[in-house]
Amino acid sequence: MINDMQKIEITKESIFGAQNYAPLSVVLEKGKGEFLWDVEGVKYLDMMSAYSAVSHGHSHPELIRIIKEQVEKLSVVSRAYYTKNLGDFLETLTKITKMDRALVMNTGAEAVETAIKAARRWGYFNKAIPENKAEIIVADGNFHGRTTTIVGFSSDPDYKKGFGPFTPGFKMANYCTNHCSCSSKCEDSIESFKKLINKNTCAILVEPIQGEGGINVPRKGWLKQLSKLCKENNILLLVDEIQSGLGRTGKLFAFNHENIKPDGVIIGKALGGGMLPISAFLSSQDVMDNFNPGSHGSTFGGNPLAAAVGKRSLELLYEDNLIENSKALGAYLKKELINMDLDIIKEVRGEGLWLGVEILSDRTSAKNLCKELMLKQVLTKETHETVIRFAPPLMISKENIDLGLEKINEVFTTYRAKKISAKKAS
């Protein structure tokens, strides 16, 4: 039940804001660790992590300390000048990721746009593709952001409706998943990429695991095949690790599960420690050398405050054992969800603490179940109509994973019981 205080805040957003989101009816005010509190003081278990942005947990005390310390010194001066913080951040970032160079931006979409620009310049300057002819191959079911360029190569019509005309230069191949309804699509995925490659192809851009697409996990070996295909054809492999990276899947990056090294890596979300928007495009010196002063930039990109937070966020992945915790508790959560063996669950998939539970569409909707979980004080969000995401902060304890599982089981079982009772009554 929504109380008066929450109604007031929800109404304000409705009156004064654009209606480009459809939030659950809860008004949050405070967070700590894996928990959130609403304006009435009701406590919720966060099983969403702001789409992986809050991997370190809410209000991490060390990150708060860094922010307070840095704000009192220097926050933003633009890239018109050097700052000590950015150099330290870049050194830490490239060492941890084992990439040559990094270009720091603010949001994930900005980092994707950076990767696109980098790939095109590499295509023109290094591969001698004729000007304005460069092509990038993407996968169906992708979600790389919401700029007009990015939605233009989405396969979801809802993301594109009313926003055209779109930027040319993108071709779409088939993503490969373990659960696709058409097995030939999975078997022919690499072939679909091969068919689109021509002399003007400069890059392939994919998510190692598709998040918004429904936590779609490709078959083992697929990303390695794609990497091999790129090397054989002198094409850059760009991986979007904005949601899947920085420990979310139980490894630093999702591509580490395939033991490959892509040519470019896009990161964001957790890089800001749940405090600030920070993103980056990582690549080789060969690719990055194509940028020159004035060719790309951002007033806030790499600002001293963000650089200080980003550096410490990376260090805390290891100091707080977040990657190992994601691997161990993710495997546990997945096993327990599968063991529920309830007749409304079609499939459980994902890696680490990034799981999707697909619901049988003829039984209920994922949105309905998310609403009922909210009433049980567990917060998560659906993607599309049939998949519920479970992605708690990576610092979550086993005790609170069990608390979440208890509430999930209650909701799923009760909903199934309601359906069974309704059938008997009829």
170 included as an active-site residue: no
Residue 398's φ and ψ, nearest 5 degrees, are: -60, -35
What is the Cβ-side half-sphere exposure of residue 347, based on CA atoms within 13 angstroms?
14
100 included as an active-site residue: no
What is the Cβ-side half-sphere exposure of residue 177, based on CA atoms within 13 angstroms?
24
Tell how many helices (H) and how many strands (E) occur in the chain.
15, 15
Give me the catalytic one of 38, 46, 240, 320. Answer: 240
Query: What angle (nearest 5°) sits at the alpha carbon of residue 152, between those of residues 148 and 153?
Result: 135
All residues at 6 or more sequence positions from 204 whose CB lies less than 8 Å from its CB, including other chains:
136, 137, 138, 173, 193, 226, 229, 230, 235, 236, 237, 238
Of 337, 350, 309, the closest CA to residue 211 belongs to: 350
All residues at 6 or more sequence positions from 295 whose CB lies less than 8 Å from its CB, including other chains:
117, 121
Give me the catalytic one of 35, 143, 255, 281. Answer: 143
Other Cβ atoms closer than 10 A to 398: 12
How far apart CA 332 and CA 326 sit, in angstroms, is 10
Give me the catalytic one of 171, 269, 327, 407. Answer: 269
143 included as an active-site residue: yes
Other Cβ atoms closer than 10 A to 91: 12
Q: Which residues are catalytic?
A: 143, 240, 269
